Chains A and B, each alone.
Chain A
Amino acid sequence: MKTNDTSRRDFIAAGLLAGLTVAGCKSSKSNPFDSLADNQVKPSGEMVKLLGVNGEVIEVDKAFLKPVPDLPPISNEMARRGIAGKKFVMVIDLSRCKSVKACQTACNHAHQIHGGQNWIKIYPLQEAEHTAPYWQPTTCMHCDEPPCVKVCPVDATFKRQDGIVLIDSDRCIGCRFCMAACPYSTRVFNWEELELPKEVAEKPYSCETSVPQKKGTVGKCDFCPDMVRKGGLPHCVSACPNGVFMFGDMLEDTVTNGAETFRFSDLVKDKAGYRLMEDLGTKPSVYYLPPVNRNFPFENKEPQTETKKS
């Protein structure tokens, strides 16, 4: 088993390199896999001087030094379009989940969610009397045909070209139709004024960070596109000590939990991946690997939550 620390370090290294590579190579600008954000990034012309390994001084364009100095703020227009040439996907391996809830903690911390609400929910499930109980974490499914987006009257929740479904809390009118429409119960509502630290509350809202949440609007898991733009992984993915969550770009056919990287198509094929409520036709972007060959018992320590069928 990998420790939290290992996966974290690997992940940050990988993420940084994704950003820094372009700086090193001259010919790689046409390659969309070198840098996540390269579709948006243009050389700034502003060069930064650095020390090379041979002790020589090298010059690198500042725009490519991601995430290092500063990421230019994403406009609402850009946040609504999403990252071109990407199609994000998540794989959740139920055979590894033992409800540590590190994902939930990290997510709540990153998005400043309080008051017992959660964007990631971890369900103790048992399909039928004699079938195996298991833990099922749910994020937003980022459906390809999202029922919540269908019903939104004001374009406050929207589907981007990279497959992510986001919420514009500056536009949401709080009708809660999307909450009724979502069959996965992933949406939460900010019933009251949130108690946020002043510097968080005063930040302008960004659809990509979903921070700060606003009273009278809906919130939900956003697949952390701000992290992804920086070359990182969603907070839940990097927080999970058991590597339950794997995230990646379907068009790269790769998913990773930071420590381990798999070819998405092979993984889903070999482990018989599936999606939740396929019959509803929502076409989720989250795939589940069945809870087989678990090397730990299912222990539900919360007596008040009965294990129910899905």
Chain B
Amino acid sequence: MKMKMHSRLLFSALLLQLIGIAAFAQTAKNDLSLSVSYFNSNNQVQYLVAHAKSKIDGKFQMIPNINVSFYIGSESPSNLLGKGVTNNKGECLVLIPPAAKSEWNKSAKPGFIVVSQATKQFDESKGNFDVTKAKIQIDTAADKKITAVLLELKDTAWTPVKDVDVRIAVKRLGGDLDVAETPTYATDSLGMVSAEYKRDSLPGDAKGNITIVAKVEDNDLYGNLSSEKIVSWGKYYPYKSEFDKRTLFARRGKSPIWLELIAYSIVAAVWAVLFYLFGQIRKLKRLGI
């Protein structure tokens, strides 16, 4: 999987360079490379992400603040899915709205198009991705086995797909942890992969629940698909943060009792003397009048 992406990237980089050289002859503007990825999470929420990048000073850089428009099928106003501006990472996301329904249902392989507006630095640019409608079904067994089936929509029937890499992992912050040492599995003729959960005593939530995810990543045909299931294979480790403890590094009002006692008693003692003396001055005044 990684190798494949790697070579694809190399290829596209090479291609871009060629285009870049060709373009250089005509304009001083940098070339903006625009691509769009398709995401489908849990066979429900579908969205697109546009990536804007450009080779500046020999290095690819993500280009922020590019206005992009997303279309389905063709680049006509009626097929507009949404508009946005790329962020600091050169990315812009749009959810696929219900308005796309007819276009989506019209074709077995709907095409998505992303178009960028020309700016001072970049010409207008386009990217597209034709997605084959597909979904993943995930299932787990009590003996900590996980199976996932990849299906694509052929005509009106969901048919298994062979030889596609599926990753099975535990959902984690910022990245997913593979359930075993093997990172990916290729689907068999039934479109199925199976994996064994080998992350013993991995922390889960208070009920020991963890989320298993099966996903296809950056596939040329299917884009990014994922499907999840919650299982109770995790272990609960109670954790109590020091946040509410009285420590020297706690916030105001949470200083250790010994410190408060010592500090306040010293301050009270000394200031009692001072106030006594202020009182003595008043007494002297009264005596003098």
Contact = CB atoms under 8 A, between A and B. Distances in A.
Given a CB threshold of 8 Å, the question of whether A touches B is answered with yes
Interface of A: 2-6, 8-18, 20-21, 23-25, 27-28, 30-34, 36, 48-53, 55, 57-58, 60, 65, 68, 80-82, 85-87, 109-110, 144-147, 149-150, 155, 158-163, 228, 231-233, 237-238, 247-249, 251-254, 256-263
Interface string B161-189: 00000000111111111100000000000
A243 B40 CA distance: 27
Interface in B110-129: none
Query: Is the contact region of chain A dominated by helix, strand, or loop, or is it mixed?
Result: mixed
A248 B249 contact: no
28 contacts: A6-B2, A13-B224, A14-B175, A16-B39, A20-B47, A23-B42, A24-B43, A28-B211, A30-B207, A31-B209, A32-B206, A33-B171, A33-B205, A33-B209, A34-B230, A49-B98, A50-B44, A50-B46, A51-B98, A53-B135, A55-B105, A109-B88, A158-B251, A228-B173, A248-B172, A256-B175, A256-B177, A260-B175
Given A17-B213, A50-B95, A249 B228 contact: no
A112 to B, nearest CB: 11
B98 A50 contact: yes
Contacts of A85: 239
Given A50-B46, A158-B251, A110 B175 contact: no
B169 A261 contact: yes
B248 A261 contact: no
Contacts of A228: 173-174
Contacts of A149: 249
B97 A14 contact: no
A252 B41 contact: no
Interchain residue pairs A-B with the least CB separation, the first 8: A256-B175, A24-B42, A161-B243, A261-B175, A254-B172, A161-B241, A57-B98, A55-B105
A4 B60 contact: yes
B54 to A, nearest CB: 13
B172 A155 contact: no
B41 A24 contact: yes
A27 B207 CA distance: 13
A10 B205 contact: no
A53 B133 contact: yes
B139 interface: no
Contact of B175 (A3, A10, A24): A10
